[in-house]
Amino acid sequence: MIIRMVLLVLFSTFICSGLPGQNITLGILEDVPGIYADQPSSSMVRVVFRKNGDSWEAYPNDCRDQSCLRTITDKYPREIAWTIAFDGKRLTQLTGQTPKEFKYYSGVGLQEILNKANMPRIGQKSSAYSGFLETPVFRPLVAISQPYFSDEESWKPSQLTGNLAILLRRSFRTKFPKMCRSSKKDETQLEPFLYSDEDIKVVKSYASKKGWTIARLHLEGAVDCNDTEAGFEIDDPWFVVDSRRSVQYLDEGMWLVDAGDYDNDDKSELIFSIDRYNRGGYELFYDDFKKRAIFKFSYH
């Protein structure tokens, strides 16, 4: 009887461990800029999301005091064996270890890498990848605790068709019906901005084999009319269009890192890097953009 019970427990554990969404942690391999002017950048993995049942959730983040930085590490996994991937392909494997405490607000979630040989790199260094810090670093890459990285929906850069571009520009106007800009006579004041559809530029767009499209739009000089401090322009909003041509606003001040089926449910998740004033982090969109999880931190 005891042997049967032991075998049953082991069998149940084996079955549960193989289910999609179980024991999955998602991270980002970052080229982290040095703190001081002459300090070189270093490769680290930031632990950002975990799968909890049917939902993705962010690890504790956005510390506001030193006490938080000293104690929050207890809520992170001590060590993780990571698979590093990009564009649906495996690049390498690394092991990350959580320190006893995070030293800086922008360091929340960062693990030291134990095996730094053959560090994967995509492209050249660029300040676009370090956000608020504006320091040239290598492109961030997805790190996953399970070998799930294929992009089931095959998201690729695309060119918008005429009708789709028109639809997105209309959606931009619906989301931002009243825009202003800094007055030419007095830059501390705002004046109405009567812009044309042609003024709304498509910065980036990606399409999936399911017929979905995401696009980043830009309107030069556009400011929220309710902005009490003139000069803060809207930060390139993103929209998604499904196969039935229904449009949804996502967020602004971010760029696409990668897409992949990180929980093995035959649907791709999309990860964006947050790039805003004194803000960094990541946004994860999943379940056909119905849900999202946000990991964010401040730099000071």
Give me 76's structure tokens. Answer: 């992170």
Euclidean distance between CA atoms 277 and 275, whole angstroms:
7
Same domain, 171 and 199: yes
Same domain, 173 and 213: yes
Same domain, 124 and 189: no
At 4, the pLDDT band (50, 70, 90 cuts) reads low
Same domain, 107 and 226: no
- Output the 3-class SS for the chain: CHHHHHHHHHHHHHHHHCCCCCCCEEEEEEEECCCCCCCCCEEEEEEEEEEECCEEEECCCCCCCHHHHHHHHHHCCCEEEEEEEECCEEEEEEEEECCCCCCCHHHCCEEEECCCCCCCCCCCCEHHHCHHHCCCECCCEEEECCCCCCCCCCCEECCCCHHHHHHHHHHHHHHCCCEEEECCCCCCCEEECCCCHHHEEEEEEEECCCCCEEEEEEECCCEECCCCCCCCECCCCEEEECCCCCEEEEECCEEEEEEECCCCCCCCEEEEEEEECCEEEEEEEECCCCEEEEEEEECC
Same domain, 67 and 135: yes
Given 133, 149, 165, which residue is the final one in a domain? 149
User: What pLDDT, on the 0 to 100 scale, is given for residue 37?
Assistant: 74
The structure tokens 């649907």 sit at 267
> Is residue 228 assigned to a domain?
yes
Q: What is the pLDDT of residues 234-278, one digit of tens each?
A: 999 999 999 999 999 999 999 999 999 999 999 999 999 999 999
For the cut 50, the answer to whether the pLDDT of residue 5 exceeds it is no
Euclidean distance between CA atoms 197 and 204, whole angstroms:
17
Compute φ and ψ for 131, nearest 5 degrees: 60, -125
Euclidean distance between CA atoms 116 and 94, whole angstroms:
7
Strand order in the sheet with 223-224: 190-192, 179-182, 223-224
Euclidean distance between CA atoms 120 and 140, whole angstroms:
10
At 182, the pLDDT band (50, 70, 90 cuts) reads confident
Mean pLDDT confidence for 153-161:
95
> Is residue 69 assigned to a domain?
yes
Q: What is the pLDDT of residues 192-242, one digit of tens each?
A: 999 999 999 999 999 999 999 999 999 999 998 876 565 578 999 999 999
Q: pTM for this structure?
A: 0.90
> Is residue 281 assigned to a domain?
no
- How many structural domains is the chain composed of? 2
Same domain, 49 and 142: yes
> Is residue 229 assigned to a domain?
yes
For the cut 70, the answer to whether the pLDDT of residue 2 exceeds it is no
> Is residue 287 assigned to a domain?
no
Same domain, 142 and 165: no
CA distances (Å), origin 293, targets 143, 231, 300 = 16, 30, 23
Same domain, 52 and 145: yes
Same domain, 192 and 71: no
Domain of 238?
Answer: 156-251
For the chain, what is the mean pLDDT? Answer: 90
Same domain, 134 and 58: yes
> Is residue 274 assigned to a domain?
no
Same domain, 49 and 24: yes
Same domain, 28 and 51: yes
Q: What is the pLDDT of residues 20-61, one digit of tens each?
A: 446 899 999 999 998 877 788 999 999 999 999 999 999 999
